[in-house]
Amino acid sequence: MDIVIELAADYGLFLAKTATLVIAVLLVMGTLASSLSAARAEKKSSLRIERVNERLTQLADTLAGAMDSKAEAKARAKKRKAQAKKRAKAKQPADTSRLFVLDFDGDIRASAVEQLRESINGLVQVAGEHDEVLLRLESGGGLVHSYGLAASQLDRLRQAGIKLTVSVDRVAASGGYMMACVGDRIVAAPFAIIGSIGVVAQLPNFHRWLDERHIDVELHTAGDHKRTLTMFGQNNEADREKFRQELDDTHGLFKTFVAEHRPSLDIDAVATGEHWYGRQAIDRHLVDDIATGDDLMLAAARAERPVYAITHQSRTGLVSRMMGRASRLHARLIEERGMAKARIG
């Protein structure tokens, strides 16, 4: 009897292990399939264009309607109807300036550059010399080559003769400011974080840890500077010097780019890696005015300029979601650093 019970217990344990293994394999396969499917979907996005004027009008009417009397509400509705009829009859002047609104929420890889590229490809074909593009920018920076491409995309608008205004509500630091400086005009919220014109790079080195455990790492290169610093090999002073030189060269290119687009800047005074709040940045000519993106959109709508918001609808892949979280954490750390500085001061 004991033997039968033991065999049954062993068999049950075997079934449990087998089921666990099968479930684990299915989960891994499902995760991979989901990631591949999301990656394919990420490449496909649809352009969505909304005329913002009507939405702002409806918002004002809804708010007023909750407070107005019946007579006031009726008078307001009659006034709106008359204005709409007048606009319908009037011909739109050829020089009417339209405002196209783009959003760029940057992560470390500047993943949103693909959507930005598509929007600009369309705008350079339809926008005229009287039109304006408003970029609502949010970025704490990231990879140099990725943000260099994003800034180059914005430069296409200027080359096409289309006015570009950049608004910063929270942060445009490092690569984010590289993008912002391309604008003909930069506006920032009073406490938006601006600047951080610098380059930073860091990596751990596990050579001593591996050496203590008698683990050898072989690295073979062709070319004196194919590899500078490494995570697993032994670094020497020549490697470090070359790495620092590359950082200095990148910083020099960054400074030159900003100086070309913002000639009023004292570039040596602001290219120290420091960041400033919006009101401080205006004194250093890093920004031109204190305002938010909402202020600009509302002002354009009140002036009866057509305001169009251009957005992209797409599924975000697993990697992009992870990089987006990392970028938001990076931006949050920059903000917290500024807050800590304010508390200490």
Closest CA to 179 of 127, 284, 102: 102
Residues shown for the chain: 345
The angle, 0 to 180 degrees and rounded to 10, between the axes of the packed helices 293-302 and 52-67 is: 90
| DSSP symbols for 145-186 | HHHHHHHHHHHHHHHTT-EEEEEEEEEEETHHHHHHTTSSEE
Residue 193 φ then ψ, to 5°: -90, 125
CB 288 within 8 A of CB 81: no
Q: In the annotation, is 69 catalytic?
A: no
Q: Would strands 132-139 and 193-195 be described as parallel, antiparallel, or unpaired?
A: unpaired
Angstrom distances, CA of residue 172 to CA of 81, 187, 188, 277 = 42, 11, 9, 10
Q: Would strands 99-105 and 132-139 be described as parallel, antiparallel, or unpaired?
A: parallel
What tokens does 260 get?
Answer: 């070309």
Angstrom distances, CA of residue 206 to CA of 122, 227, 229, 233, 244 = 49, 16, 12, 8, 20
Question: What contacts 316, CB < 8 A, 6 or more positions away?
Answer: 38, 42, 324
Closest CA to 181 of 330, 310, 276, 285: 285
CB 287 within 8 A of CB 278: yes
> Which position among 69, 70, 226, 264 bears the catalytic label?
226
Angstrom distances, CA of residue 220 to CA of 88, 174, 214, 224, 233 = 72, 34, 19, 11, 11
> Which position among 119, 146, 167, 174 bears the catalytic label?
174
Q: In the annotation, is 86 catalytic?
A: no
Annotated catalytic sites, by residue? 174, 226
